[in-house]
Amino acid sequence: MGDGSSLQNNGSNNKQKKRKKKSSSNKKKKNKMTGEQSYAAKSVNEWVSLDSPTSIVSSSSSIDDFGFQLKSCGNRIADKLVFELHSHSICSDGFLSPTALVERAHRNGVKVLALTDHDTISGIPEALEAARKFGIKIIPGVEISTIYTSRGESGAEEPVHILAYYGSSGPKRLDELETCLAYIREGRYHRAKSMLSKLNNLNMPLKWEHVTKIAGNGVAPGRLHVARAMVEAGHVENLKQAFNRYLYDGGPAYSTGNELHAEEAVQLICRTGGFAALAHPWALKNPLAIVRRLKEAGLHGIEVYRSDGKLAAFSDLADTYDLVKLGGSDYHGRGTHDESDLGSVNLPVMAVHAFLKVARPIWCDAIKDILQNFVEEPSESSLERLTRFGKVRNLKAGITMNCNMDVIDMCLSSWLTNDERKGTDFEALSLKLSRLDICQSGIQVPVVS
């Protein structure tokens, strides 16, 4: 009996081992990259690793269910590359400074972070400085406040937010972009005062000083700042109640400001060398008409992925209009249990690759434009513009270099892949730039005989 029981147990154990082995084999098969995914991952990794030693992605690299485990280091698989493409800081209506936002992103495993504050890029330089400590790549971005007006219905309009993503060199025609953003921010002050007036008529008085104090010095107040003031004044229990009852689009205390028309914002982003994407389309009343119109204006992408997964309806809409499918947490740092955290949106490797495939040529053209302007006007102010978003921002902070190509190479090596740098246009620009004497004491243009 003892021998029979032992054989039975051994047989059972062998079956369990076979099941585990089969399960493990299936899991490995499921997690093995396809050739297309491997190529996409390698391409994405090359771009992410421009500022650091290159990691090679082999076809045997494993991936998670969403298809994004990129780097293979010998026999060890490196950390997953997490992209966070929608976040806010205290420079608009977020609760964290750009530095604190980057630190939180690092803790959450984010490797690429787009700071997309409302109508301002003022937080980008601080985010870049903080990101260098953690090896995080920053995508300079902005979320532009716009209004969509229906052509068929007189006066029918709704707010639409357009995300702009720029390359490592930042926007071209920067003055044009900043002038438009300043105009929108000025309107936010008028808008906030109008909301306070409406709240006062609803017997919920708020002091202007209270709202501006919450917003912070130099920050244009938004709805979230008004909502926080309402909570602190005891008019509502929480932020959600403030929005649901009074501040929602078209609500009793809602007001508009100096928003651009949605099509104008998309065209502005295109003119300034950015990738334009429609933010949170699920919040729109008429997404189909808006997407159709914005695609005509040059829209490149649309948010489809959220922390709770992909929204099929908007994925289909993206397919219909040939738009890149994106997503991000829209993190503000409110600290509420229902807020999606940084890095919580799983973007498939193929989605990220599609994003960069469209965005990188746009960013390359912007870099060419910026460098060409520098060649034509080699002044200290244009040098400051050239290095504002690059690694050589601290050129004047005592770093000694061999002027000329050292500065150029530092910019181009952190902005472009090797293949992009080998383009005829960039080689010609590099030759022109090499003839400029770029030094800490200023810029000299040598006389060439």
Note the pLDDT tens digit of each residue in 36-57: 989 999 999 989 988 664 444 4
β-pair partners for 62: 32
Report the distance separating Cα 316 and Cα 307, nearest Å: 18
Residue 79 tokens read as 């950390």
Residue 151 tokens read as 């052509």
pTM score above 0.75: yes
Residue 321 tokens read as 């209009």
What are the distances in angstroms from CA 146 to CA 117, 118, 158, 260, 296? 14, 11, 9, 5, 16
So what's the pLDDT on residue 70? Answer: 43
**Averaged pLDDT, 242-251:** 93
> DSSP state, 97?
-
Pairing of strands 309-310, 301-306: antiparallel
Instruction: Give the phi and the psi of residue 123 in degrees, each rounded to 5.
Output: -85, -10
Q: Count how many residues are written for the chain.
A: 449
Q: Say which CATH superfamily domain 82-356 falls into.
A: Metal-dependent hydrolases (3.20.20.140)
So what's the pLDDT on residue 241? Answer: 95
So what's the pLDDT on residue 191? Answer: 92
Pairing of strands 76-77, 72-73: antiparallel
pLDDT at 385 over 50: yes
Give the start-to-end residue ranges of the domains of the chain.
82-356, 357-393+401-436
Mean pLDDT lowest among 93-97, 196-200, 413-417: 413-417
β-pair partners for 144: 162
pLDDT digits (tens, 9 = 90+) for 3-48: 554 444 555 555 555 555 555 545 454 556 788 989 999 999 989 9
**Averaged pLDDT, 52-71:** 42
Residue 96 tokens read as 């964290």
Which of 361, 282, 297, 279 is closest to 85 using CA atoms? 279
β-pair partners for 145: 161
- Give me the amino acid identity at 370: I
Q: For residue 36, how many C-alpha atoms fall within 13 Å in the half-sphere facing its CB?
A: 7
Average pLDDT, the chain: 83
